[in-house]
Structure 1
Amino acid sequence: MLTAAKLETATLESINPTTGQALPSCEALTLDEARSAIDKVAAGFAGWKATSYPKRAAILKAVAASMRENKHELADLMALEMGKPIKEGVAEVEKSAWCAEYYADNGEAFLTPETLESDASHSYVQYPPLGTVLGILPWNAPVWLALRFLAPALMAGNTCVLKADPNVPATANKLVECFYQAGVPENVVANLAVANSVASKMIDHPKVKAVSFTGSSKAGQFIASQAAAGLKPAVLELGGSDPCILMADADLEKALDIITLSRMVNAGQSCISVKRLFVEKSIYNEVCEALGERFRKLKCGDPRDESNNLGPLAREDLRDQLHRQVSESIEAGARCLIGGDLPSRSGFFYPPTLLVDVKPGMTVFEEETFGPVLSVTPIDTIDQALELANDTEYGLGASIWTSSQVAIDRAIETLQSGQIAVNGIVKSDPRLPSGGIGKSGYGRELGPQGIREFVNVQQIWIA
């Protein structure tokens, strides 16, 4: 007979956010089974570390090919499990395949030993892998966020255990199948299909040598403290309340198109999307009206229908939290130009919502809004905009639109965030490091910096 603890983790239950109906459950690992899975992957570390860079690269390129062959199935599973529009899902898989290829092509060069002068006849630094790395990942980009963890860690010679969010179990299972079909040994990558309560125990597994986490700031604090207690390095990519500054001398049509795209991609469920927009007063009314026109044209519906721009939010509680934030801000004096109401339809949809005249202290200014809600605030000067942009506990991304080089230089000097976009969208790119400061986390993924997070920076001194 199963114990209560075993019953709790026997299956992973998920809800189709488009309909609000339950999806077929997925079998979950018990605590003992999860520990055994980690033991198996840890046992594969020596062999994978000994695999040459060219062989690892060839396998990663095969992974990319396998993902592309299965991109429509992966996109369909994402649409079913977390509501991502099908065309966005296909693009996510393509980007993830590119990430695998990028590290296949560049990983060895990024980890080339570096000679450093000293009193030795030869002294240098090399970058051997740490061992088995645990990746605890969210639901909002289940393929992309997995690859930006897996591709550099595997190319460096680590083995990996992937713990996907319980909302997307079928997507995670299919993704790992793609790895196995491409020739990745089963003792090199494993999917830990476990409840969150079991996953937290995996951080303490003695054979887990490092942790990568993407998710909320609150959860990140717990994971950071648990990893630190075990003296294990961690990379945390957490929430964001990204500011965007729009000056009167900007290319407004292009800026407004990109701001709308940034805020509405994945139904607004993106850490690095524009959430707080600061607009110079001379163009404020024009901008608010133009954004309203763009928001009204967005079509919200079944994410498997390619004619729709937005799908539902991933869970009912996320929609309810977003509506609370909007309602509290309106009560505090923000004006709602479009949206802001709970739809009566089935599923967890929320309309594109534009809140203007937002001030510090209002909920949508102070908290991260994870959904299709944009707050707009008028500003007099670039210095006022920069002060308001930095008035947050988060520090993931930031952007500015202007043709003034003086304003651009001032923004680059002043904005406190992990990345800054000038006259463009804040995005993740395999070639560039991604991460934040403050409540947005620490460490970096992607680029040459990302692959060096889970290696031993090892000094060699030869007499």
Structure 2
Amino acid sequence: MPIATVNPANGETLKTYDALGEEEIERRLATADATFRTYRTTSFEERARLLHRAADLLEEDRDDVGRTITTEMGKPITQARAEADKCAKAMRWYADHAAELLADEDPTGHDVEDSGGSRAYVRYRPLGPVLAVMPWNFPLWQVVRFAAPALMAGNVGLLKHASNVPQTALYLEDLFLRAGFPEGCFQTLLIGSAAVEGILRDPRVKAATLTGSAPAGRSVASVASDEIKKTVLELGGSDPFVVMPSADIGRAAEVAVTARTQNAGQSCIAAKRFIVHQDVYDAFTERFVAGMKALRVGDPTDEETQVGPLCGERNRDDLAELVDDAVEHGATVLCGGERPDGPGWYYPPTVLADVTPEMRIHQEESFGPVATLHRVADLDEAIEAANDTPFGLSSNVWTREEAEVERFVRDLEAGGVYVNGMTASHPALPFGGVKRSGYGRELSGHGIREFCNITTVWHGA
């Protein structure tokens, strides 16, 4: 895949880049290694000062970088600016809380003297250069939620971004440099996927994080395990959105539209399977389909657009094939379902009913504005349907019954359970999944400690 900016609204190639050669990759790895040796000794106060400065600059740049994001991957401009704002807030959160999150820990509740020592504590120390393989769908946020905690922990970052967002990737390197971070603290590597293995096997690279598809995760995890290196994987999702009879149906249907179509539905944590109790199925479906039909699809640079194009032609073809397969096997199209004529890689908001297990869309992730509806008879069937997927990233449940909430929290196979609201990531909350959605956690204290050497310090009596 070429490293290029291709406008998904019209298919026009705007700018192409040459991949880094071996000599330049070596130079950047050497720089990362050298920088880490000094940066790791800086104080939390100094790191926080730099990260706050980066947040200030990002807010100043929000309009320009928003246009870059929209041009490269098609996100509606209002959502692109909101992504920049979210990143700035996350930077500030980690700048303000990292010292507390990584403070030395005393082994409270244990008698250290039993070990023969007079004092013991746990210290979190940085690992070194960390390789981040990041996707295009949230081209700022996916990177910042790795970079902010990694830099505050004293690590340095090497970014291999998706090949269709090179300008955003280069902007991020420039942002951290302008903020005052030393050269080598955060570097963008314009490389193809084939170069990832060699970089990950380099002994100077200590760990890796990847957000992307299951095949990409397998590839990185396989190499890292061979090298015995730590990884965090955030992979695909097919999140359930469960609606029970006690729910506020109008509100649930309204949120369901946003949960399925934000970023044109190109989100791992987007709700994709709408599992609705038979007692409220018709009422929910009527409101949900009406909301999907009412969405404004069009030019992502238009302030009024709610759903822009998909990021690429292949992506749209893959989504259309899932819908076509479902229809061929008996699914009912309640709205959408056909590729529009004209330029750009658009696909209409689509709702499918009568989905059955033999359809590909029942088990595969649909990365676009396509929702599937499932009717269930009771709580047990709802939980069974929600778990009937190889993925386990997050989940949404709508109910006012506390007993049902407790069942969902106990039994749903997912990294998150969001009650009466849609899944969203926040720097204070751990984020990640189970099953084929990956392992490890990003964000919160759990995320910042993923790439730390958890060190026991023991003093003799």
The TM tier, using the shorter chain, reads over 0.9
Q: Are positions 1:265 and 2:256 aligned together?
A: no
Identity across the alignment (%)? 40
Check whether the contact 1:35–1:202 (CA below 8 A) recurs between aligned residues. no
Q: Secondary structure at the match of 1:114?
A: coil
Q: Distance in 2 between matches of 1:360 and 1:65?
A: 49
- The aligned amino acid for 2:30 is D
Does residue 82 (structure 1) correspond to residue 79 (structure 2)? The answer is: no
TM alignment of 1:23-422, pairs within 5 A: 23-116=14-107, 117-118=111-112, 119=115, 120-422=117-419
Task: Return the offset for 1:360.
Answer: 2.6
Q: How far off its partner does 1:32 sit?
A: 2.7
Q: Secondary structure at the match of 1:208?
A: coil
Of stretches 247-256 and 82-91 in structure 1, the one that deviates more from structure 2 is: 247-256
Give the gaps of 5 or more residues in structure 2.
none
The residue type equivalent to 2:55 in the other structure is A
Q: Distance between the aligned counterparts of 1:425 and 1:31, measured in 2?
A: 44
Residue pair 1:31, 1:198 contacting (<8 A) in 2 also: no
Give the CA RMSD over aligned residues: 1.1
- CA offset digits 1:402-423 (Å, max 9, x no partner): 1111111111110010111011
Paired with 2:21 and 2:373, the residues of 1 have a C-alpha distance of: 47
Match of 1:425 in 2: 422
Q: Distance between the aligned counterparts of 1:429 and 1:208, measured in 2?
A: 28
**Secondary structure of the structure 2 residue equivalent to 1:44:** helix
Runs of 4+ in 1 over 3 A off after TM superposition: none
Tell me the amino acid that sits aligned with residue 333 of structure 1: G
Shift of 1:385: 0.6
TM-score relative to the length of structure 1: 0.96
Q: Comparing 267-276 with 357-366, which one deviates more in the overlay?
A: 357-366
- The answer (yes or no) to whether the contact 1:288–1:356 under 8 Å persists in 2 is no
The answer to whether structure 1 residue 15 and structure 2 residue 6 are counterparts is yes
Residues 451-460 or 12-21, more deviating: 12-21
Instruction: Output one character per residue of 1:71-123: Cα deviation in whole Å (capped at 9) or x when no partner.
Output: 11111011111001100000001101111111100001111111224221011
CA distance in 2, matches of 1:378, 1:31: 55
How does the TM-score come out when normalised to structure 2?
A: 0.97
Task: Give the paired residue count.
Answer: 454
Measure, in 1, the Cα distance between the counterparts of 2:64 and 2:195.
Answer: 28
Deviation at 1:31, TM superposition (A): 2.8
Task: In structure 2, give the amino acid aligned to 1:180.
Answer: L
What's the offset of the Cα at 1:366? 0.8
Q: Is the 8 A contact 1:248 1:283 kept in 2?
A: yes
Query: 1:115-142 deviations in whole A, cap 9, x for unaligned?
Result: 2242210111111000111111000001
The secondary structure found in structure 2 opposite 1:226 is helix
Question: 1:128–1:458: 8 Å Cα contact kept in structure 2?
Answer: yes
Instruction: For residue 27 of structure 1, report the CA deviation from its aligned partner.
Output: 3.7
Aligned mates of 1:248, 1:443 — CA distance in 2: 35
* SS across alignment from 1:419: coil
Structure 1: 5+ residue stretches without partners: 1-7
Q: Displacement, 1:284?
A: 1.3
TM-aligned CA deviation for residue 361 of structure 1: 2.9
